[in-house]
């Protein structure tokens, strides 16, 4: 499980990255002094006003994030007040969500203004078709025209074909979107990590259900963010790589191109090793190839003598090196709150007219055993059941009254209760079971006596020692075998509840494994 403090460090790194990553100048929100993200838009009052408003929203978000961090620290120091602190944190995170929505609307308008400006200014570039690149391009660019944003330097507009330059500028614009997707993904991931911990600790079914719903919702949001990041990042990388490659080829800088290919090959190798091992392949791919692309851009800026852009990009490289983007997967199995209870006896009646025997609860998921005490044509008096409790009843399809005692997690526990009830004078107590809502009377159903279960694990590689230890701890004495190239089998088990526990333990140890509990006939 990822610790909250580590998550906050990563998030802080990402928020710092927002200012430096694009090499376009920092958003000094504290001073409400902002710089245009694209050179040439400084005189656009609406554009600069939107940037200042965005900076103000960022200040508010940072303030609330700090408040959340303080609340989490207090929660760790005072677990007894978990409920109050948890409510405060959820309220604060709701405000963060609202601020991010507002920022999203601002960014959409900012992006529109930038795109319109770029398209309008392409006409000037179109009237001056690209000519041969100078042998020493650094000598051709006056210092007054060199800017921190690499793509905003006039050299690219002058040397690239119109369509390629438009794609390069659009790629630069999308860099802001990509960073926003990453920021939001990391923020959601931190909340997901906390929800996973809270879900595991929840004692009440209603509380757990609420937490699980929030967990599933945020996981869904992050899947959408990862898809959006992947689309934006592929466009950015492809078009920037093409534009820089086009210029390096014209300039005959084969050594830069070769170095880029080597770095990209190494990034692809690392991504292949990490695929499926982290929370998001898209986020992992972004950071691995982002490092490659920033290195490429630094080489291009250095070769062109664009010192401001080069120094800015070197700062981005340092920021990237400080970010732990290999987020562990968080997979939470849904918990089923089955009310298990052993059979006891009382000389004082547990049920009365005011407190009647309750209706038996049939759970949609999970396995629970009960003892059927008898099936009757009419409702029975409490005294019929010799002081046994807890009791419950169901009226079956034949309109018969079925009375049950207890609720057990395993067949072994049910058999012990059956033996106890017989010793107490019950003539024919029968073991019944509900599995995911399906009812079976194990005492009457001959086929049920011959049903067994096994845990099937699909993996192309050998199971890790941690997985084997989890199997041993939860299924002591059961055999682990390999069937074919990719299928591992644990069991058999007479009791599905035990098989379910083994499957849950393996899933918790290695969420990437494909696991199921299969029913087999002996």
* pLDDT the model gives residue 137: 57
Q: Over 80: is that where the pLDDT of 443 sits?
A: yes
Do 456 and 433 share a structural domain? no
pLDDT band at 140 (very low <50, low <70, confident <90, very high): low
CA 313 to chain centre: 30
User: What distances in angstroms separate CA 281 from CA 27, 267, 321, 502, one per listed residue?
Assistant: 29, 13, 18, 28
Do 186 and 57 share a structural domain? yes
- Report d(CA 416, CA 3) in Å as an integer: 43
More confident site: 347 or 128? 347
* pLDDT the model gives residue 1: 37
Q: Over 90: is that where the pLDDT of 499 sits?
A: no
* pLDDT the model gives residue 135: 54
Q: Over 60: is that where the pLDDT of 2 sits?
A: no
Give Cβ neighbours of residue 13 (< 8 Å, ≥ 6 apart).
Answer: 319, 322, 323
Do 465 and 348 share a structural domain? no
Of 410, 429, 445, which closes a domain?
445
Contact 172, 114 (CB under 8 A): no
Instruction: Give a yes or no: residue 478 inside a domain.
Output: yes
Do 115 and 180 share a structural domain? yes
Do 57 and 178 share a structural domain? yes
Rounded to an integer, the average pLDDT of 282-298 is 93
* pLDDT the model gives residue 403: 96
Q: What is the DSSP letter of 4?
A: H
Q: Over 90: is that where the pLDDT of 10 sits?
A: no
Q: Over 50: is that where the pLDDT of 127 sits?
A: no
CA quadruple 508, 509, 515, 518: dihedral sign: negative
- Report d(CA 32, CA 58) in Å as an integer: 11
* pLDDT the model gives residue 153: 83
- Report d(CA 422, CA 420) in Å as an integer: 5
Give the residue among 290, 248, 299, 292 at the shortest CA–CA distance from 266.
Answer: 292
CA 89 to chain centre: 19
**Helices then strands, each counted (H, E), the chain:** 12, 11
The total of other beta-carbon atoms located within 10 Å of residue 466's CB is 11
More confident site: 257 or 5? 257
Half-sphere exposure of 386 (CA within 13 A, CB side): 15
Of 258, 287, 321, which closes a domain?
321
Do 504 and 399 share a structural domain? no
More confident site: 83 or 45? 45
**pTM of the predicted model as reported, rounded to 2 decimal places:** 0.59
Burial of 197 (0-12, 13-18, 19+ CB in 10 A): middle
pLDDT digits (tens, 9 = 90+) for 368-394: 999 999 999 999 999 899 999 999 999
* pLDDT the model gives residue 12: 35
Do 440 and 456 share a structural domain? no
Instruction: Give a yes or no: residue 339 inside a domain.
Output: no
CATH number of the domain that residue 465 is part of? 3.30.70.100
Among 28-37, 78-87, 188-197, 447-456, the minimum mean pLDDT is found in 28-37
Do 469 and 438 share a structural domain? no
Give Cβ neighbours of residue 499 (< 8 Å, ≥ 6 apart).
Answer: 453, 454, 455, 491, 493, 517
Instruction: Give a yes or no: residue 328 inside a domain.
Output: no
pLDDT digits (tens, 9 = 90+) for 320-352: 888 888 888 888 877 778 888 999 999 898 998
pLDDT band at 122 (very low <50, low <70, confident <90, very high): low
Of 416, 445, 474, which closes a domain?
445
Provide the domain count of the chain. 3
Instruction: Give a yes or no: residue 433 inside a domain.
Output: yes
pLDDT band at 522 (very low <50, low <70, confident <90, very high): low
* pLDDT the model gives residue 22: 39
* pLDDT the model gives residue 521: 57
> Which residues in 13-25 are b (16+ Cβ under 10 Å) and which e?
bbbebbbbbbbbb
Instruction: Give a yes or no: residue 326 inside a domain.
Output: no
Do 435 and 417 share a structural domain? yes
* pLDDT the model gives residue 27: 34
Q: In what order do the strands lie in the sheet with 391-395?
A: 391-395, 401-408, 367-376, 430-435, 438-441
More confident site: 1 or 395? 395
Q: Over 80: is that where the pLDDT of 469 sits?
A: yes
Instruction: Give a yes or no: residue 96 inside a domain.
Output: yes
Biggest distance spanned by C-alpha atoms of the chain: 104
> Which residues in 96-119 are b (16+ Cβ under 10 Å) and which e?
beebeeebeeeeeebbebbeebbe
The distance in angstroms from the start CA to the end CA of the chain is: 39
Contact 521, 448 (CB under 8 A): no
Helix (H, G, I), strand (E, B) or coil at 457: strand
CA quadruple 58, 60, 61, 66: dihedral sign: positive
Domain of 269? 4-321
């Amino acid at each position: 499980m990822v610790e909250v403090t580590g998550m906050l460090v990563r998030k802080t790194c990402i928020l710092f990255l927002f200012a430096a990553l694009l090499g376009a100048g920092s958003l000094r929100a504290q001073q409400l002094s902002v710089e245009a993200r694209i050179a040439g838009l400084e005189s656009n009052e609406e554009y600069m006003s939107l940037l200042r408003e965005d900076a103000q929203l960022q200040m508010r978000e940072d303030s609330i994030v700090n408040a959340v961090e303080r609340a989490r620290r207090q929660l760790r120091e005072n677990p007894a007040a978990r409920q109050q602190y948890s409510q405060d944190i959820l309220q604060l995170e709701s405000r963060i969500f609202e601020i991010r929505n507002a920022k999203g609307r601002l960014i959409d308008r900012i992006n529109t203004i930038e795109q319109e400006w770029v398209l309008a200014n392409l006409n000037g570039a179109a009237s001056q078709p690209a000519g041969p690149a100078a042998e020493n391009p650094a000598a051709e660019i006056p210092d007054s025209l060199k800017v921190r944003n690499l793509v905003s330097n006039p050299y690219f507009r002058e040397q690239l074909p119109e369509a390629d330059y438009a794609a390069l500028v659009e790629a630069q614009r999308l860099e802001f979107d990509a960073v926003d997707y990453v920021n939001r993904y990391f923020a959601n991931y931190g909340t997901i990590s906390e929800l996973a911990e809270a879900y595991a600790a929840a004692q009440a079914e209603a509380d757990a259900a609420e937490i699980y719903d929030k967990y599933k919702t945020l996981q869904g949001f992050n899947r959408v963010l990862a898809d959006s990041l992947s689309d934006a990042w592929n466009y950015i990388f492809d078009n920037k790589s093409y534009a820089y490659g086009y210029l390096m080829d014209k300039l005959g800088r084969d050594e830069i191109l070769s170095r880029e290919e080597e770095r990209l090959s190494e990034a692809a190798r690392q991504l292949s090793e990490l695929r499926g091992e982290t929370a998001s392949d898209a986020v992992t791919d972004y950071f691995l190839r982002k490092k490659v692309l920033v290195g490429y851009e630094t080489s291009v800026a250095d070769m062109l003598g664009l010192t401001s852009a080069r120094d800015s990009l070197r700062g981005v490289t340092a920021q990237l090196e400080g970010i732990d983007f290999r987020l562990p997967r968080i997979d939470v199995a849904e918990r089923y709150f089955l009310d298990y209870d052993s059979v006891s006896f009382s000389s004082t009646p547990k049920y009365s007219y005011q407190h009647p025997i309750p209706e038996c609860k049939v759970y949609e998921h999970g396995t629970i055993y009960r003892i059927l005490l008898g099936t009757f044509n009419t409702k029975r008096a409490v005294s019929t059941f010799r002081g046994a409790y807890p009791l419950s009843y169901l009226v079956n399809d034949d309109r018969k009254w079925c009375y049950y005692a207890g609720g057990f997690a395993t067949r072994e526990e049910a058999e012990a209760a059956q033996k106890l009830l017989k010793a107490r004078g019950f003539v024919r107590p029968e073991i019944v079971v509900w599995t995911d809502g399906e009812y079976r009377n194990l005492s009457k159903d001959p086929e049920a006596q011959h049903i067994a279960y096994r845990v099937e694990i699909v993996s192309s590689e050998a199971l890790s020692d941690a997985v084997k230890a989890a199997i041993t701890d939860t299924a002591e004495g059961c055999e682990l075998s390999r069937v074919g190239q990719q299928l591992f089998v644990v069991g058999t088990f007479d009791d599905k509840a035990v098989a379910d526990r083994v499957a849950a333990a393996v899933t918790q140890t290695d969420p990437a494994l494909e696991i199921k509990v299969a029913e087999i006939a002996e």
